[in-house]
């Protein structure tokens, strides 16, 4: 059982960042925290205004207006020797089929893209805290008009998709979801099966939807 705690400031903080990427980064940090706690612990999300971004990765501290968004867990912690690797694409401590190693690299890329940074503090056996530092902006002049409703997803209209996925649950979900949207699907459970399907008649496939990490 995981307890979720929030620590938010009284005044609203605004940042200049892509909302979709921001959402994804928060989810990635939360998922990482959840996995570190192995089903039990406390996940804390905190937001605060900051006037200094601390030094990190051989870069000096930066004095400016930032918003610090932290996600903390009470999980297993990360060994010091691995802290320099955790933001590298495809680096993961999870077993095969349990993670791609892309979640924290997305967080790192989002922070850089937004003109900010991400820090990590961890102690083995006690937990980990990831903190996003994003440029703080004034809330004046921000858009107040209603956000338009998103367009409905287009029907697949018989488009044929080759799904390459070794995880049974993910493969089942992907093929069922695509079928509901009108796509025709062929599921290959490994790279060899995918190559065999393509060898039969590659022209029948309009798209390949593939896992990026498989045995």
The pLDDT-based confidence of 36 (bands split at 50, 70, 90) is confident
pLDDT tens, residue by residue, 149-168: 655 555 677 799 999 988 88
Boundaries of domain holding 88: 2-137
Calpha distance 80→125 (Å, rounded): 12
What DSSP element (H or E) covers 49?
Answer: strand 41-53
| CATH code (residue 189) | 3.40.50.2300
Number of structural domains the chain divides into: 2
- Residue 75: band (very low, low, confident or very high) from pLDDT cuts 50, 70, 90: very high
Q: Which of 104, 137, 170 is the last residue of a domain?
A: 137
CATH at 122: 3.30.565.10
Going by C-alpha positions, the residue among 71, 10, 2 that lies closest to residue 41 is: 2
């Amino acid at each position: 059982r995981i307890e979720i705690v929030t620590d938010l400031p009284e005044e609203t903080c605004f940042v200049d960042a892509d909302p979709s990427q921001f959402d994804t980064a928060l989810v990635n940090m939360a998922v990482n925290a959840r996995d570190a706690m192995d089903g039990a612990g406390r996940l804390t999300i905190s937001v605060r205004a900051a006037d200094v971004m601390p030094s990190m990765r051989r870069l000096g501290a930066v004095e400016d207006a930032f918003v610090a968004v932290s996600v903390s867990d009470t999980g297993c912690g990360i060994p010091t020797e691995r802290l320099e690797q955790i933001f590298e694409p495809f680096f993961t401590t999870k077993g095969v089929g349990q993670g791609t190693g892309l979640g924290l690299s997305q967080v790192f890329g989002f922070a850089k893209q937004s003109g900010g940074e991400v820090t990590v503090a961890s102690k083995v056996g006690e937990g980990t805290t990831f903190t996003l530092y994003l440029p703080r902006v004034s809330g004046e002049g921000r858009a107040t008009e209603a956000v338009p409703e998103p367009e409905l997803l287009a029907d697949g209209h018989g488009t044929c998709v080759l799904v390459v996925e070794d995880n049974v649950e993910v493969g089942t979900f992907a093929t069922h979801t695509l079928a509901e949207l009108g796509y025709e699907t062929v599921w290959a459970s490994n790279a060899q099966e995918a190559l065999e399907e393509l060898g039969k008649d590659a022209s029948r496939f309009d798209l390949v939807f593939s896992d990026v990490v498989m045995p």
